[in-house]
């Protein structure tokens, strides 16, 4: 992986791509698997695990909690690793630790629940944006289960004084994030949702992994990451396939190719996950306006993604409209779109979405392209493979 400049110009493709791309392992599956491995009895080997900012903070935190975690290279993919975790049967070896999670929402929520299940005192901190992201519903649930959670504003940083958790059913909201309920499900808790579930979404992924997890586990490729390449093929009139794209994937974004060209309406809650942003880019080359709905959670992720997408789409000349729980994007007329310097808001998905658009529209420059290291450190190397 080469060092990236502060601003990276994306050159349009000179011909439609026709190729197959490999992408690193799924962040969502990797972080769930790391927690399940730590809770298991004995050694677990995770193959094809993503090695990026969000998974590295999880591994670092498990090591600080006293777990034996070994990381080995993966010869098949630069940004994957084979990770070996020695589980302690539900016990947390360290009785005191300070954990830093950066802006990794999955790590923050899963680790908070994990340490609350132990016996000791643990402090969890993150970066500035993570300290703005909601945690109240999870903190409340953990208090009801017996943990002491000390925080000044119901967000991180927080200190958890743990005495073990009561194994009783508990109701928890998934409106702001399904990660709260997933955190409890990973611990074997009976988490009762107090609002609409996500059929086939991230909660379904968690439930399936809890049922199916075994000591030798292969992580699927990250299909959210893969959608950028499928989108690139659609936008440029080519064909890009992602290697090992499983039809029976645990990931909600596995449905992405079936939604091209984009339909009139897509739900962030029931149809697609993070790839709704890539679908919005594809809508610029579609044949009808696309409305993203049920997407309130986009406002409390790495940035307010609804506002950010609308702002940057308008910056390149697109017609778009912001709604309280989503946004609408209209197809672009010939010559309507133009180059611009894209603000990424330190959000990896903003950088990747508009880089894909830059393969079609000249003059698009990505600010802070290095933010892709959160989930896809070699994204721009892979993007260059579309030129071969």
At residue 241, the pLDDT reads: 97
pLDDT single digits (tens) 285-341: 999 999 999 999 999 999 999 999 999 999 999 999 999 999 999 999 999 999 999
| Predicted structure pTM score | 0.95
Q: Is the pLDDT of residue 227 over 90?
A: yes
Task: Give the separation between CA 85 and CA 83, rounded to whole angstroms.
Answer: 6
CATH class given for the domain over 27-218: alpha beta
Domain boundaries, the chain: 7-23+221-387, 27-218
pLDDT above 90 covers a percentage of the chain that reads 90
pLDDT single digits (tens) 114-173: 999 999 999 999 999 999 999 999 999 999 999 999 999 999 999 999 999 998 888 887
At residue 106, the pLDDT reads: 96
Of 54, 222, 253, 274, catalytic: 274
At residue 1, the pLDDT reads: 67
Q: Is the pLDDT of residue 178 over 90?
A: no
At residue 148, the pLDDT reads: 98
The fold of the 7-23+221-387 domain, in CATH, is UDP-n-acetylglucosamine1-carboxyvinyl-transferase; Chain (3.65.10)
3-state secondary structure of 162: strand
Task: Give the separation between CA 93 and CA 86, rounded to whole angstroms.
Answer: 11
3-state secondary structure of 184: helix
Return the residue matching tokens 């197959």: 20
Q: Catalytic annotation on 381?
A: no
At residue 194, the pLDDT reads: 52
- Asked if 7-23+221-387 and 27-218 have one fold, the answer is yes
Task: Please compute the mean of the pLDDT values over residues 209-218 and round it to a whole number.
Answer: 97
Give every CB contact of residue 202 below 8 A, 6+ residues apart in sequence: 28, 178, 179, 182, 252, 273
């Amino acid at each position: 992986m080469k060092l990236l400049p502060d601003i990276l110009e994306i050159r349009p493709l000179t011909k439609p791509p026709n190729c197959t791309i490999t992408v690193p392992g799924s962040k969502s599956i990797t972080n769930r698997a790391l927690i399940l491995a730590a809770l298991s009895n004995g050694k677990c080997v995770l193959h094809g695990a993503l090695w990026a900012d969000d998974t590295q903070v999880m591994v670092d935190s498990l090591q600080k909690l006293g777990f034996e975690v070994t990381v080995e290279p993966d010869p098949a993919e630069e940004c994957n690793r084979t990770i070996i975790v020695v589980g302690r049967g539900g016990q947390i070896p360290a009785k005191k630790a300070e954990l830093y999670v950066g802006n990794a929402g999955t790590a923050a929520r899963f680790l908070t629940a994990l340490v609350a299940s132990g016996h000791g005192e643990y402090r969890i901190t993150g970066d500035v944006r993570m300290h703005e992201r909601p945690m109240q519903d999870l903190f409340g649930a953990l208090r009801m289960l017996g943990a002491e959670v000390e925080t000044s504003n119901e967000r991180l940083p927080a200190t958890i004084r743990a005495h073990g958790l009561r194994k009783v059913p508990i109701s928890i909201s998934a409106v702001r994030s399904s990660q709260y309920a997933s955190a409890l499900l990973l611990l074997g808790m009976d988490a009762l949702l107090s609002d609409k579930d996500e059929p086939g979404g991230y909660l379904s992924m968690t439930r399936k992994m809890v049922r199916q997890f075994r000591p030798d586990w292969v992580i699927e490729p990250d299909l959210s990451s893969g959608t950028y390449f499928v989108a690139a093929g659609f936008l440029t009139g080519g064909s890009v396939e992602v290697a090992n794209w499983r039809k029976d994937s645990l990931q909600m974004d596995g449905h992405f190719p079936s939604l091209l060209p984009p339909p009139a309406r897509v739900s962030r809650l029931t149809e697609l996950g993070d790839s709704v942003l890539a679908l919005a880019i594809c809508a610029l080359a579609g044949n009808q306006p696309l409305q993203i709905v049920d997407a309130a959670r986009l406002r409390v992720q790495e940035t307010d993604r609804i506002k950010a997408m609308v702002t940057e789409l308008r910056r390149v000349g697109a017609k778009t409209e912001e709604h309280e729980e989503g946004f609408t994007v209209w197809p672009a007329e010939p010559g309507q779109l133009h180059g611009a310097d894209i603000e990424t808001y330190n959000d990896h998905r903003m950088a990747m979405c508009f880089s894909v658009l830059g393969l079609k529209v000249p003059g698009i420059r990505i600010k802070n392209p290095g933010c892709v290291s959160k989930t896809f450190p070699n994204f721009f190397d892979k993007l260059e493979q579309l030129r071969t």
